[in-house]
Amino acid sequence: MNALERIKQLFRKRSVWIALYVLMFLLVLGTYAVEVFVWRTPPLKSLPRVLLILLLLAISLFRIIIRHRKNIAAAEQIYADHIENAFQKDKTKKRKLLSALVDYNLGYLSECVKKTDCIIKRIRND
């Protein structure tokens, strides 16, 4: 697997995107703090711009989280007849299975295989 494939695979993960958004959020707050406390600019001068940027970041982060939940809910509906009552007692395994199905539907087969292998190992250990 070459470097470009690894980078693509890395940015498919929701946790990576959440971490990037949190870092951007902190960067915007940090630059605002430097602007106000170090450069002594009036706080209200750049506040609307900073609030707009933070609002857009928050909306984007919210959309990432909601989209993932919708994908999982859709997979649960689509594969309801195949899954039936699987993992009713263990919600983490069921969520992992649904996440693997979402990856399969999106064409991320290597991620799907990793998640299903993890589920199989957990089942064998129980």
What does the pLDDT look like over 78-102, one tens digit per residue? 998 888 888 888 888 889 999 999 9
In this structure, how many other beta carbons lie within 10 angstroms of the beta carbon of residue 98? 21
Instruction: Band the pLDDT of 26: cuts 50, 70, 90.
Output: very high
What does the pLDDT look like over 34-59, one tens digit per residue? 999 999 999 999 999 999 999 999 99
∠41-42-47 over CA atoms, to 5°? 105
Round to whole Å and give the CA distance between 98 and 69.
Answer: 10
CB 87 within 8 A of CB 113: no
Domain locations in the chain as residue ranges:
1-67, 79-126
CB 102 within 8 A of CB 72: yes
Instruction: Band the pLDDT of 61: cuts 50, 70, 90.
Output: very high
pLDDT of residue 1: 63
